Structure 1
Amino acid sequence: MLKLPKAIQSANRSLIRLGSLSALAIVSTGALAQGNSESLEEVVVTGIRASLEQNIDMKRNANSVVDAITAEDIGKFPDKNVAEALQRVPGVSIDRDFGEGENVSIRGTDSSLNMTLLNGQTVATSQWKVLSALSRGFNYAMLPSDLIASAEVYKTPQADIDEGSVGGTVILRTRKPLDLDSGTASVSLESQYSELPDVWDPSGSAFASWKNEAGTFGVLGSVVFQDRSVERHGAEVLSNYVPTTAKDTGEEVYVPWGLGSALFQQQRERRGVDLNLQYAPNEQFDATLHYLASELGASNMNQNFLPLSRNAVRDGGSNTQTNGNVVTSSDIDGALAGGHVAYDVIYRDGSSMDTDVLDLEANYDLGFARLHGQIGRTTSEGNANDWFYEWFNQANDDRVNWTYTNNGRPSASFDNSDWITNPTDELVLNGYFESQITMTDEEAYAQIDAEFDVEVGPINLIQVGYKTRDRDTGQDRVRTYASNLGANGNDAYFGTAADFWSGAVVSGLHGETGFGPSAYFDPDRNKLNAYFDALPDCAAGSTEICSNRDTTWYPSIFDINEKVDALYVKADFADDTTGLRGNLGVRYVTTDTTSGAWSFSSAQGEYAYDEVKAKYSDVLPSLNLAWDASNDVVLRFAAAKVIARPSPSQLTSSVSLTPESSSGSGGNPELEPYRATQYDLGAEWYFAEGAMAAVTLFTKQIDDYVFDEIRSEQVISPDGVLQIDSMRRPQNGPSVDLNGVETQLQYSFDNGFGLVGNYTYTDVSDAETQSGPVTLPGNSENMFNVSGFYENELFSARLAYNYRSEFFRAKTAVGSLYRDEQTSLDAQFSYYVNDKLSLRAEALNLTNETVNDIFSLDGGPTLQASEWENGRRFFLGANYKF
């Protein structure tokens, strides 16, 4: 029987003898347990065609429903990180909110309901974005593709793979030095042009592997650096559509709470290192020490000019026109209205996130059994920093007039408003704070597995194991803010726009989004720093404007501990007579959580720390059955029970309030996990070498579905008991059904051309709750990918198109928010100068697609919401193999 380590070694050596640094697709444990005692032959394979054949071989031989991408594929797809490569897999979709793939969704489930494992283990993750909640979904922006040898997407579970996914599990593999020839090395250099910021940025990677002459000890190392200038232009709808009363008509109407003409700029600095030490003194024993570290510097700045349409129509609207009860236009008279125009500028120096993994793995072959042990830890820290400044218009100022329109797209027109780019005192600075948020994620794990060769009917392998995990996630926050503004005879603002301006202007926005204004004044940060740094510290009895520096911000602080213990048993079977093979197993898992957070106690007059404990257990059976009906046809059936635990941000008992809009959000530490029963039925036809046609039907009944319930709630705060009309909290709800079909086609012609395509359809039912019907976020009904390629001995070219239909994002008090359909067209060209040197050119988002949100009003029309432009990206690079 072929064993996993030997399969990996043979696969890698086959490619390395060709001078390629790409690894073959790793054959799954289930695929190996077929009673096949033949050794892998060393076959000469190169190029796109060979890589696709390797992916097909893995899918064909696996017992579970699995799709794979090898490092050769990741290098040759027009994709710059692993997520962007994975979107070519049937049933997999991603988001590119900042022009780069970050989160992966599988089979219509949100990214937080899927797992990513590195060499079979969790990778800790965090965020750099202030408004991002801690999630279980892995942020692929942290993981350059250069560090990964292969990626496997398990659509159906196995008992020996960690539980925690409803959609699917992505297993990433790194290389091992004893699988490669000693002295294997390569260097890649690349330059990236980003269209919106109009700059070139460098990136590069280096790889080297060595082993001693005896082949018993080896060292492998990779380093990666990638710089990227990010710019995003946004036409934003803030807080979506809300009801209000029009001043001039007295009618109840719907209008966005606020609009935003946004400019986001960021300098991303990604650094990564991967180190493997492997020791195998004999054929019975081997051990690998693996260290991976990746960090992303994400300092950024966000500017947003904000016409507050709700306040404006309510307080100063005239000639208000509606279509139904939706405002289509209104003239805003600044002389009648109070605060109806704002301008936010946020500097986020030092924002970052990092992750690291330290893992020790050992295997020992006893002859009659094989033992496997793995122990390690993974940590991540995200830092989201804010220096926030907000200007508002002076009340009853007829210089600040504008017009709100919504003819299919909400917009604001500021005719004859030269003050926007040449301000005096129309806007005053009366909002300020500094904030530092630290998000942490840490998991320690240990597992032991044993597999035994048996001959019990068709069963040829029994595998048992135990794993324990201890995970801590949390968030800390400190704030600096001013006191006594507008009190004790002080001014009601820090200064006017002119006081904090030196003449700079932001311009050139909304070339694609059709929004306004497209230019506005750019504050002078040095003047802002000088003013607020000079404020005195607040002290007891202070009456002047002063600063409360580095104050612990209790409402945002929480800690969650999660202890998981799992036992499993799995049997692999194969019957040469009938052609049936597969695995049957069960996993028993217990989960203990402790959620701690701060809440304000009116009795004590201060914040008090509370903990809530919860515990649950699950029995998770799984069956994967494959039938080799003929030499070129494989039929499949799979059934399993799965779970996905709530996100850390859903489990916290802390709350966040926005009293101005009477809204807020909080967690629920007593949530149960998502639980699902799922079935797969598939057929695969391998009608030619390197060719395949496949179809898979799948269904999932998801119980204990977690949805956000919006309700009125009284919340105790330092300002007293607040009535929050729209308080959002997660709750376990009723069942939803998710059904779908995946289709795949792959074919390589004899003339060098080839085609790879897939289409996925998913349908999810609504669940009825007290808050109305709700559905799964992240589910696109239609997804398809098509890639065409050509290659010969001199060059290769590939064009890849991806489509994803609209999907539900969130429920609000008066409607539902959706992400509109998304498309992308990417391309790559490679020229092989010789066996060692290759040149390449790539392009992402060739058609300059924008990212759009749409809003469906309950009982009303569907309206345009936000739209963001990320621009095109182009790459030129070279790779040299030693």
Structure 2
Amino acid sequence: MKYQQQATIQSGPARILTASRAVSLLIFGLFSALAQAGDIVGVVNDPDLQRFVEGATVTVVDSNKKATTDRWGRYTLRNLAAGEYTIVVSAGGFQASSTTVQVPETGNVSADVSLNTTYDEIEEIVVTSARVSQLLALQRKRSAESIIDAVSADTVGKLPDFNAAEAVQRLPGLSVELDQGEGRYPIVRGIDSNLNNVTIDNNLVGAPEGEGRRVALDVIPSDLISVVEVVKAVTPDLDGNAVGGNINIITRSAFDSPDRFAFVGGRIGYNDKSERVPYGASAVWGSRLGAEEKFGLVLASSYYIRRYDTNLFEGDGWTEFAPDAYAPEGVRYFNYDIERERIGLNANLEYRPTDTSLWYMRTIFNEFTDEEARDQMDLDAARGTQTAVSSTVVQNSEGRATREYRQNNQTQQLTNISLGGELSRDNKLWEMSYTFSHAEEITPLRVDWEYRSGADAFPNTIDVANTYFDLDAGAAINDPANYDFRRVRNRSDSIEEDIHSLKGDLRIDTEFGQHAGYLKFGVKYAARDKYRDRTNLNYTGASSFTLADTGLFHSGPADFLDGHAELGPVLDFAAHQALAQSNPEMFEFDAESSALDSISSDYQIDETLLAGYAMASVDINNLTILGGARIERTEADYTAYFVSLPAVDPLNPASPFTGTTEYTDVLPSLHLTYRPNDKVVVRGAWTNTIGRPNFQDVAPALEVEDDEGAAGNEDLDPFESMGLDLSFEYYFETAGIASIGVFYKEIKNPIFTRRTEDVVYRGIPLTVLSRPENADKGTLLGLELNIEQQFVNLPQPFDGLGASLNLTFIDSEVDVFGREEDNLPFFRQPDTIGNVALFYALGRFEARVAVSYRDAYLQGIGGDSSEDVYFDERTQVDLKVSFDATERFSLFGELQNINDASRREYQGRPSRLYADEIYSWTALFGASYAF
């Protein structure tokens, strides 16, 4: 396909957005007088790719008037005197186009413009999806008023990424925290994912988990996404709770394309470790409705189920058993059988009665079901006397082991319903919305069966010279007759969060002297109601019996840890459940522990946010200055419980504690964007943000066992962050970029768990108290490098090559209680993050290999550096190939984790293995059809 250069003025039925004067007068009479003369309105699109061009600059020649197109390609040039004007439309990756417009004495004139990419002399190789998606994402970044990165739906479709978290990890400065081998929590520039602000269509999203504020983005299938946008330097009109950044998931709109669109696809695969078959399907349909196409409707659905196995090895509690010789105090083996099911539904209804008004209802529902079966063997190895045989071998005179089985069925749901609208009149744009967000994590079934040996049953030897150690505890450790029944615990959890939020924004386009700009004001109210409720039913044995007595066991997998260790006998869960049902006399209800476990982690949190902001933007030649401030008022009430063991009254072991907090934050910011020409963008930003404490940290719980206590802290201050950013971006004509950015953050009030000895807390004398407290501050300094290039000017067949490379280097430091002399990095803060993608497109064939790298980072802090736990560095390689059999029908194949990367942790130093979880690789094959 070759592109035809084209620039047209369209009007009447051919216009994408038509006018309806009667409805317009009725609505806008509430806000302003009749429209002034001298406005040019229009839409910019790419006819070959059938897409609107977002972020195009529309300039009036010999004037300070200019405008930028929005998501739907719309622009408005206001307050022009009657006469003839020449407008120039330019956008990165497109050929600039100019046209002449006659502005009448009254009313508006329509000037819709079609742009062509810079590939007008290159064959159809250039319109492959990878290049289209790169063009769209870079155009969004290029036109932004702040420092952002984005990934478009096309890019998601061209990488082996099945959820939003895995999609964003390809962006500069982004990594992802894994859960059972799948990307789950996005990390912006290495900062803890709890300090990100996550929104859907710029509206708040609830956090389904009970501990923190982070949103697990693996809940959201990538098929429902139009764009994921990561704002690294927030402007005043965005929520201030964004120390890491603001991650906004934009769902699809029927007005995203000039034409109706529909897509169906399916995939089926194979997991190497489990030898099981994952499969899924998705469908998207969008169309404008009605005779004048004023209504738009999008319906989308996605389903994916994956069943796989993982093996986990842990070496727990490394200690120095001889000078400069370390070994773990315990060894743990875990075998997981996992089934994960994702369901996503999206329905967006929009109504555009006029060119200048929009009403919408946007809904998204996501359900993530995780059913995990876990076999476990724990050896408390370092009991009795330790004897050093060599620098890597220790003998323990006693050891105790347990064998457990856990069935944990859990479902997370995210629901967002947004009602809102936009009204534009004269130089004013009103936006208002109401959003209801519901998040929940329901655990209807969690059952733990446990058998335990005697205290001195297994003398053992541990040799740490090999990766998974050489453990010798004799054949007795795998004899089920050596394990007495200890207990069975039945648990259910309910965590729910409801958010009601209202916001309104007013933008006023104006002039500051001879320079165009705008003022923007807004208010927001959000009420968050979150609770956690747990119920435990615990049983012990009415009389003694062993695992061998029941006979309800079988051998563990022969290839456990790829044959490097033997798991031994594992419990038959179904048979144990049947045993409890048919022989209740064998079990005795434990009233005290049931009551304690049922209340110790419960809480109720009511949090209210009231925010307002004011900001202004002005264009002075090639420089855009945006500045303003946001004020946020936070008020919260907390309820949690005090529990003690042993309890004074076993049936009523808890008493409620309540707490309140309130604080006000003023968050100024300044953003500078300099565009000396159409290829260069220089940005600078000064921002201030906060990070509210995690829910579990502020819940005023207190749990005392004997004379040691663990507590929450309702008096915690929020994180306070001041950030400085400077970046230089150079855009190639062939939809590429080379950029360099430097950033600095000073973060006050970081939260860490502090251990204090011999204290009186809430009138209770304690030998040890552990609770979260605010430390002083920390800093981080980073460098981001990014290059994306499509080599279309190379001779055939090398003109199909393309590559992207981004690297982020971060130096961080924080002071922690009792560790002031140590040079500690921020929690979950890697020093280096990198992504490399190479792709090749030739005709209808396309191949892409993606490599993601993350350096080691601090996971948990101990009493000294030898006790600190780190996630080790990790590199993962993924591959996808696709073939367009026809213009509408495509085939694809994917390989995930080709290099069999595991999730590894170490304690103190890399040689001291703390945990290693292996997943192996997954292959997928599929097809898609576009209508």
TM-score greater than 0.5 by the shorter chain: yes
Is there any run of 5+ residues in structure 1 with no aligned partner, and where?
Answer: 128-132, 539-543
Q: Which residue of 2 aligns with 1:866?
A: 915
Candidates 724, 746, 765, aligned match of 1:679: 724
Q: Which residue of 2 aligns with 1:186?
A: 263
Q: Which residue of 2 aligns with 1:791?
A: 841
Please list the CA deviations of residues 796-821 of structure 1 after superposition, one character each: whole Å capped at 9, or x if unmatched: 11011111111111102342111110
Going from structure 1 to structure 2, the CA distance change for 1:153 and 1:24 (only over 3 Å counts) comes to: farther
Code of the residue aligned with 1:475 in structure 2: it is R
Identity value in percent: 22
User: How far apart, CA to CA, are the structure 2 residues paired with 1:416 and 1:253?
Assistant: 24
User: How far apart, CA to CA, are the structure 2 residues paired with 1:875 and 1:663?
Assistant: 51
Q: Which residue of 2 aligns with 1:343?
A: 403
Code of the residue aligned with 2:853 in structure 1: it is Y
The size of the alignment, in residue pairs, is 823
Candidates 608, 612, 616, aligned match of 1:567: 612
Look up the SS of the partner of 2:503 in the other structure: strand
Going from structure 1 to structure 2, the CA distance change for 1:556 and 1:95 (only over 3 Å counts) comes to: same
Deviation at 1:572, TM superposition (A): 1.7
Code of the residue aligned with 1:461 in structure 2: it is Y
Code of the residue aligned with 2:607 in structure 1: it is E
Going from structure 1 to structure 2, the CA distance change for 1:233 and 1:663 (only over 3 Å counts) comes to: farther
Going from structure 1 to structure 2, the CA distance change for 1:830 and 1:378 (only over 3 Å counts) comes to: same
Q: Which residue of 2 aligns with 1:541?
A: none
Q: Which residue of 1 aligns with 2:862?
A: 812
Going from structure 1 to structure 2, the CA distance change for 1:316 and 1:722 (only over 3 Å counts) comes to: farther
Deviation at 1:532, TM superposition (A): 3.1
Going from structure 1 to structure 2, the CA distance change for 1:412 and 1:113 (only over 3 Å counts) comes to: same
Q: Which residue of 2 aligns with 1:320?
A: 388
Look up the SS of the partner of 1:162 in the other structure: coil
User: How far apart, CA to CA, are the structure 2 residues paired with 1:655 and 1:68?
Assistant: 43
Going from structure 1 to structure 2, the CA distance change for 1:591 and 1:503 (only over 3 Å counts) comes to: closer
Deviation at 1:331, TM superposition (A): 3.3
User: How far apart, CA to CA, are the structure 1 residues paired with 2:325 and 2:638?
Assistant: 41
Look up the SS of the partner of 1:553 in the other structure: helix
User: How far apart, CA to CA, are the structure 1 residues paired with 2:357 and 2:490?
Assistant: 55
Please list the CA deviations of residues 732-762 of structure 1 after superposition, one character each: whole Å capped at 9, or x if unmatched: 1111111011011111112111111111100
Going from structure 1 to structure 2, the CA distance change for 1:523 and 1:657 (only over 3 Å counts) comes to: farther
Contact 2:318–2:912, Cα closer than 8 Å, also in 1 = no
Q: Which residue of 2 aligns with 1:130?
A: none
User: How far apart, CA to CA, are the structure 1 residues paired with 2:709 and 2:890?
Assistant: 54
Going from structure 1 to structure 2, the CA distance change for 1:353 and 1:56 (only over 3 Å counts) comes to: same
Q: Which residue of 1 aligns with 2:301?
A: 223
User: How far apart, CA to CA, are the structure 2 residues paired with 1:237 and 1:55?
Assistant: 44
Please list the CA deviations of residues 632-688 of structure 1 after superposition, one character each: whole Å capped at 9, or x if unmatched: 2221111111111111111112246787xx987432111111101111111112243
Deviation at 1:836, TM superposition (A): 0.8
Candidates 515, 528, 545, aligned match of 1:471: 528
Q: Which residue of 1 aligns with 2:634?
A: 591
Deviation at 1:842, TM superposition (A): 0.9
User: How far apart, CA to CA, are the structure 2 residues paired with 1:187 and 1:663?
Assistant: 58
**Aligned ranges 1:244-323 → 2 under 5 Å:** 255-311=327-383, 315=384, 317=386, 319-321=387-389, 323=391
User: How far apart, CA to CA, are the structure 1 residues paired with 2:418 and 2:648?
Assistant: 48
Q: Which moved more, 1:838-847 or 1:728-737?
A: 728-737
User: How far apart, CA to CA, are the structure 2 residues paired with 1:769 and 1:256?
Assistant: 26
Please list the CA deviations of residues 818-844 of structure 1 after superposition, one character each: whole Å capped at 9, or x if unmatched: 111010111110100111100111111
Q: Which residue of 2 aligns with 1:830?
A: 882
Going from structure 1 to structure 2, the CA distance change for 1:656 and 1:72 (only over 3 Å counts) comes to: farther
Q: Which moved more, 1:780-789 or 1:624-633?
A: 624-633
Deviation at 1:388, TM superposition (A): 0.8
Q: Which residue of 2 aligns with 1:358?
A: 417
Question: Are 2:810 and 1:762 equivalent residues in the alignment?
Answer: yes
Deviation at 1:535, TM superposition (A): 6.6
Contact 1:24–1:150, Cα closer than 8 Å, also in 2 = no
Deviation at 1:340, TM superposition (A): 1.3
For the aligned residues, what is the CA RMSD? 3.2
Code of the residue aligned with 2:615 in structure 1: it is K
Candidates 114, 123, 141, aligned match of 1:41: 114
Code of the residue aligned with 2:878 in structure 1: it is D
**Aligned ranges 1:22-61 → 2 under 5 Å:** 37=77, 41-43=114-116, 46-61=128-143
Going from structure 1 to structure 2, the CA distance change for 1:805 and 1:724 (only over 3 Å counts) comes to: farther
Please list the CA deviations of residues 481-527 of structure 1 after superposition, one character each: whole Å capped at 9, or x if unmatched: 126x5xxxx64x4x211133345211234445x753x2321222244
Deviation at 1:722, TM superposition (A): 9.1
User: How far apart, CA to CA, are the structure 2 residues paired with 1:783 and 1:183?
Assistant: 40
User: How far apart, CA to CA, are the structure 2 residues paired with 1:460 and 1:92?
Assistant: 32
Contact 1:291–1:359, Cα closer than 8 Å, also in 2 = yes
Going from structure 1 to structure 2, the CA distance change for 1:403 and 1:722 (only over 3 Å counts) comes to: farther
Question: Are 2:206 and 1:124 equivalent residues in the alignment?
Answer: yes
User: How far apart, CA to CA, are the structure 1 residues paired with 2:193 and 2:719?
Assistant: 14
Q: Which residue of 1 aligns with 2:738?
A: 693
Look up the SS of the partner of 2:868 in the other structure: strand
Code of the residue aligned with 1:62 in structure 2: it is A
User: How far apart, CA to CA, are the structure 2 residues paired with 1:381 and 1:685?
Assistant: 44
Please list the CA deviations of residues 71-116 of structure 1 after superposition, one character each: whole Å capped at 9, or x if unmatched: 1111112222221121111111112231111001111211111122
Q: Which residue of 2 aligns with 1:739?
A: 781
Q: Which residue of 2 aligns with 1:650?
A: 697
* TM-score in terms of structure 1 length: 0.87
Contact 2:17–2:355, Cα closer than 8 Å, also in 1 = no
Q: Which moved more, 1:433-442 or 1:224-233?
A: 433-442
User: How far apart, CA to CA, are the structure 1 residues paired with 2:516 and 2:913?
Assistant: 58
Q: Which residue of 2 aligns with 1:480?
A: 537
User: How far apart, CA to CA, are the structure 2 residues paired with 1:758 and 1:8?
Assistant: 38
Contact 1:742–1:761, Cα closer than 8 Å, also in 2 = yes
Code of the residue aligned with 1:164 in structure 2: it is N
User: How far apart, CA to CA, are the structure 2 residues paired with 1:24 and 1:734?
Assistant: 47
* TM-score in terms of structure 2 length: 0.83
User: How far apart, CA to CA, are the structure 2 residues paired with 1:138 and 1:592?
Assistant: 22
Contact 2:752–2:816, Cα closer than 8 Å, also in 1 = no
Contact 1:410–1:865, Cα closer than 8 Å, also in 2 = no
Deviation at 1:152, TM superposition (A): 1.1
Going from structure 1 to structure 2, the CA distance change for 1:332 and 1:732 (only over 3 Å counts) comes to: closer
Please list the CA deviations of residues 209-258 of structure 1 after superposition, one character each: whole Å capped at 9, or x if unmatched: 232231111221001110001321011134x3357xx7xx9x99964342
**Aligned ranges 1:227-246 → 2 under 5 Å:** 227-238=305-316, 240-241=317-318
Question: Are 2:573 and 1:525 equivalent residues in the alignment?
Answer: yes
Q: Which moved more, 1:211-220 or 1:405-414?
A: 405-414
Look up the SS of the partner of 1:125 in the other structure: coil
Is there any run of 5+ residues in structure 2 with no aligned partner, and where?
Answer: 1-15, 19-39, 58-65, 78-88, 90-111, 118-126, 793-798
Deviation at 1:180, TM superposition (A): 3.8
Question: Are 2:544 and 1:499 equivalent residues in the alignment?
Answer: no
Deviation at 1:710, TM superposition (A): 2.6
Q: Which residue of 1 aligns with 2:60?
A: none
User: How far apart, CA to CA, are the structure 2 residues paired with 1:500 and 1:665?
Assistant: 38
User: How far apart, CA to CA, are the structure 2 residues paired with 1:394 and 1:31?
Assistant: 74
User: How far apart, CA to CA, are the structure 1 residues paired with 2:671 and 2:67?
Assistant: 9
Code of the residue aligned with 1:439 in structure 2: it is I
User: How far apart, CA to CA, are the structure 2 residues paired with 1:702 and 1:716?
Assistant: 29
Code of the residue aligned with 2:439 in structure 1: it is S
Contact 1:710–1:812, Cα closer than 8 Å, also in 2 = no
**Aligned ranges 1:702-781 → 2 under 5 Å:** 702-712=747-757, 725=768, 727-750=769-792, 751-772=799-820, 773=822, 774-781=824-831
Contact 1:737–1:764, Cα closer than 8 Å, also in 2 = yes
Code of the residue aligned with 1:69 in structure 2: it is V
Look up the SS of the partner of 1:639 in the other structure: strand
Contact 1:558–1:652, Cα closer than 8 Å, also in 2 = yes
Code of the residue aligned with 2:394 in structure 1: it is S
User: How far apart, CA to CA, are the structure 2 residues paired with 1:396 and 1:57?
Assistant: 67
Q: Which residue of 1 aligns with 2:588?
A: 545
Deviation at 1:359, TM superposition (A): 0.8
Code of the residue aligned with 2:804 in structure 1: it is V
Contact 2:403–2:570, Cα closer than 8 Å, also in 1 = no
Deviation at 1:583, TM superposition (A): 1.5
Going from structure 1 to structure 2, the CA distance change for 1:170 and 1:26 (only over 3 Å counts) comes to: farther
Code of the residue aligned with 2:780 in structure 1: it is L
User: How far apart, CA to CA, are the structure 1 residues paired with 2:659 and 2:925?
Assistant: 53
